[in-house]
Amino acid sequence: MADSKVVRVQLDALETALRYGNSISEGIRTMEKLLKEKDKKGGFDIEAVRIVVREELDSIGRY
């Protein structure tokens, strides 16, 4: 097993990671794999990326 580190994550990020795997680490690795596959298939929809970034910035602004 690789080195590990204790970190704080927001609950919504935890829930998101666990939708992709049985653990946070597995979920993150799965998301990375899916992103790489998506990138190989023709890149990202820039408008979708903008929407997600905008939503995340709005979310952060509420804290």
Is the pLDDT at 36 greater than 90? The verdict is no
Task: Name the nearest CA neighbour of 2 among 38, 29, 20.
Answer: 29
- Measured over the CA atoms of residue 31, residue 39, residue 41 and residue 49, the dihedral's sign is positive
Report pLDDT for 58: 81
CA 55 to chain centre: 14
What average pLDDT does this structure show over 24-40? 87
Decide which of 42 and 48 is more confident. Answer: 48
Q: How many whole angstroms separate alpha carbon 46 and alpha carbon 18?
A: 26
Look up residue 8 and give its two tokens. 């704080």
* Residues of the chain above pLDDT 70, percent: 92
pLDDT at 62: 67
